[in-house]
Amino acid sequence: MQRKYIVVTGGVLSGLGKGIAMASIGNILSSSYEVVPIKCDGYLNVDPGTMNPIEHGEVFVLDDGGEVDMDFGHYERFLGVTCKSDSNLTMGRVFNDILNKERRGEFLGQTVQMVPHVSEFIQDYLVDKVEGSGADVGLIEIGGTVGDMENELYLHAVKHLPRRVGRENVVFAHLTYVPVLSGVNEQKSKPTQMAIAEMGQRGIEPDIIIARCESMLSDNVRGKIARSAGLNPEDVITGLDVNDVYDIPMVFERQGMSQLLARKLDIPVRADLGEWARLVENKRNFSGEVNVALAGKYMNLEDSYASIVEALNHCSAHYGTKINIDFIDTESGLDGIEKASGVIVPGGFGSRGLEGKIVAAKYCRENKVPYLGICLGLQTAVVEYARNVCGLEGANTVEVDAGTKYPVIDIMESQKDIKNKGGTMRLGSYEAVVEEGSKINKLYGSVDVRERHRHRFEVNPEYHDVLRDKGLRLSGMSPDGKLVEFVELDDHPYFVATQGHPELKSSLLAPAPLFRGFVEACINYEGKK
Ligand code: GLN
């Protein structure tokens, strides 16, 4: 089959859910084809690893250790694929590569210019990545909104894709917005028409328009939009507002997205959304509720814990249980924790709020409340255990207290001299050998487990035996036995923590095992109340 390309752009305003729209198109295609998602971001950071999660949302980590935009979370969850870090192209990376190439003299004395050099670099990059992946369809998302200065070079580049790979092999899908004016209660097509014109000025004629709107587009508005783009009304899809983004593939499919893609790409497309739709429905028809306390910081932006929220969401569908998430900012106390059916201490950096998390871990351990510690949440549990069970008063993580008498969490030797931020952590997928018969073993159904990591500190090997002797089960270790990957308590319904980030590999069809175990424990806890 001839390789196909779908380029997704956005107009009118940001935050319309381009990542979800693209992931939903991918979801529909993925039952018939292998799809590779690629994202082009306009910012000048070489990767998002050093970007503040308050501003930018969670840093998503891939198997290969790449720190990428959180849209990759949507792609992996919706497409069931494992992405590679070179699928996230940033303008910082583009310029970095171009300038390195120039310094190496590879431009042979030419004047290096935005056009053609930068534009061609991007074109080559996109085609190489899609071809190199072996996928049937390359899905390319251009970040930002058309008209943003920082994305102009990407638009210039994709305009040339049809010439490079054949017009019949490229589909441009443009996501726009149709506001409904209050009072008159009327859908307004003008912003979308203008967004289409903006694309036209850049030499790109969209083949599909997805118009985000709070209601289904009227025939009149759909027709107007279609005419202004030189399209048929069937080429215009309503990107209906929904409460649950997992509904979007069905919203698209009900409007004939698979036939539309088949027609535009000239390939057969058969969507298979049965199991997906059943799980989404299960979430709505829940029986019973649990309250999960998420004890962290950055609480003003749920996005910084997006994958954890998603992993709980997947469990909610799996168990048909409503999961209410209570965000607790441990810097200002633990108010409300007694309502929790279970507590998650998520990943995090720095000292803010750590003492509060330690109290939360103690509360869960002593009161037999389900506890799931993720990365910093494992370190928290270990510090708490060292202090309150092993009697190591003042034990701490070196990240917070460099002079602590009992450095139970310490920096790894191999990381000590790294000053440069970005890519200096234990990043990506690592293997753990899990103790047979442990909870971890049962949950994963395996003794050989892989999860993704993003951290600098580790449980200090000098304290492994002290912790073990006092009853903390170090139930998963790195294959060389040096690094603690999982801990658990025997005499507790669910006190489990991991140095990895299992939420990053969770999906609707296959929720992360540690989250499944946690939610099941929360349900049992509620049942026993
Ligand atoms: N700050 C801790 C470390 O670097 C934990 C990081 C995390 O939770 N992702 O080891």
pLDDT in tens, 378-397: 999 999 999 999 999 999 99
Which residues are 433's β-sheet partners? 448, 477
Going from the Cα of 519 to the center of ligand 1, the distance in angstroms, rounded, reads 23
Task: Give residue 55's pLDDT.
Answer: 64
Average pLDDT rounded to a whole number, residues 237-251: 96
Task: Give residue 54's pLDDT.
Answer: 57
Quote the percentage of the chain above a pLDDT of 70: 95
Task: Give residue 53's pLDDT.
Answer: 57
Task: Give residue 334's pLDDT.
Answer: 86
* Residue 260 and residue 294 in one domain: no
* Residue 334 and residue 252 in one domain: no
Task: Give residue 353's pLDDT.
Answer: 85
Minimum-distance ligand 1 atom for the alpha carbon of 346: 8
Task: Give residue 482's pLDDT.
Answer: 93
Average pLDDT, the chain: 93
Alpha helix ranges (H) inside 349-496: 354-367, 376-388, 439-444, 464-469
Mutate to test the pocket of ligand 1, among 298, 352, 357, 376 (most ligand atoms within 8 A of CB): 376
* Residue 75 and residue 147 in one domain: yes
Going from the Cα of 484 to the center of ligand 1, the distance in angstroms, rounded, reads 14
Average pLDDT rounded to a whole number, residues 503-524: 97
CATH of the domain at 146: 3.40.50.300
Q: Whose CA is nearest to atom 1 of ligand 1?
A: 349
Quote the percentage of the chain above a pLDDT of 90: 84
Q: Is the pLDDT of residue 318 over 60?
A: yes
Mutate to test the pocket of ligand 1, among 305, 415, 456 (most ligand atoms within 8 A of CB): 456
Tell me the whole-structure pTM to 2 decimals: 0.91
* Residue 221 and residue 294 in one domain: no
Element (H or E) spanning 497, and its range? strand 495-498
Task: Give residue 379's pLDDT.
Answer: 97
Q: Tokens 């310490």 correspond to what residue? A: 410
What are the pocket residues of ligand 1 if the criterion is a CB atom closer than 6 Å to any ligand atom?
347-349, 375-376, 399, 454-457
Task: Give residue 68's pLDDT.
Answer: 85
Minimum-distance ligand 1 atom for the alpha carbon of 377: 8
Residue at which a domain ends, from 278, 298, 333: 278
> Worst-scoring range by mean pLDDT, 20-29, 30-39, 326-335, 491-500?
326-335
* Residue 196 and residue 223 in one domain: yes
Residue at which a domain ends, from 278, 296, 322: 278
* Residue 421 and residue 500 in one domain: yes
Mutate to test the pocket of ligand 1, among 60, 375, 411 (most ligand atoms within 8 A of CB): 375
* Residue 74 and residue 191 in one domain: yes
* Residue 34 and residue 118 in one domain: yes
* Residue 211 and residue 307 in one domain: no
Rounded CA gap, 10 and 145, in Å? 5
Minimum-distance ligand 1 atom for the alpha carbon of 501: 9
Minimum-distance ligand 1 atom for the alpha carbon of 457: 10
Sign of the alpha-carbon torsion through 506, 511, 512, 515 = positive
* Residue 184 and residue 236 in one domain: yes
Tell me the pLDDT tens digit for each residue of 130-181: 999 999 999 999 999 999 999 999 999 999 999 999 999 999 999 999 999 9
Minimum-distance ligand 1 atom for the alpha carbon of 399: 1
Tell me the pLDDT tens digit for each residue of 465-479: 999 999 999 999 999
Q: Whose CA is nearest to atom 5 of ligand 1?
A: 376
Q: Is 325 exposed, middle or buried (0-12, 13-18, 19+ CB in 10 A)?
A: middle
- Residue 50 CB neighbour total at 10 angstroms: 13
Q: Which of 209, 324, 213, 262 is nearest to 33 (CA)?
A: 262
Q: Whose CA is nearest to atom 3 of ligand 1?
A: 455
Q: Which of 8, 11, 9, 7 is nearest to 192 (CA)?
A: 11
* Position 298 confidence tier, pLDDT thresholds 50, 70, 90: low
Average pLDDT rounded to a whole number, residues 513-529: 95
Containing structural domain, residue 168: 4-278
> Worst-scoring range by mean pLDDT, 100-104, 425-429, 514-518?
425-429
User: What domain count does the chain have?
Assistant: 2
Q: How does DSSP classify residue 59? A: P
Average pLDDT rounded to a whole number, residues 238-263: 96
> Worst-scoring range by mean pLDDT, 29-43, 172-186, 329-343?
329-343
* Residue 10 and residue 148 in one domain: yes
Going from the Cα of 466 to the center of ligand 1, the distance in angstroms, rounded, reads 22
Q: Whose CA is nearest to atom 7 of ligand 1?
A: 347
* Position 420 confidence tier, pLDDT thresholds 50, 70, 90: very low
Q: Are 188 and 21 in contact (CB under 8 A)?
A: no
* Position 351 confidence tier, pLDDT thresholds 50, 70, 90: confident
Residue at which a domain ends, from 224, 253, 278: 278
* Residue 172 and residue 202 in one domain: yes
Task: Give residue 423's pLDDT.
Answer: 46
Question: Residues with catalytic annotation?
Answer: 375, 501, 503
CATH of the domain at 368: 3.40.50.880
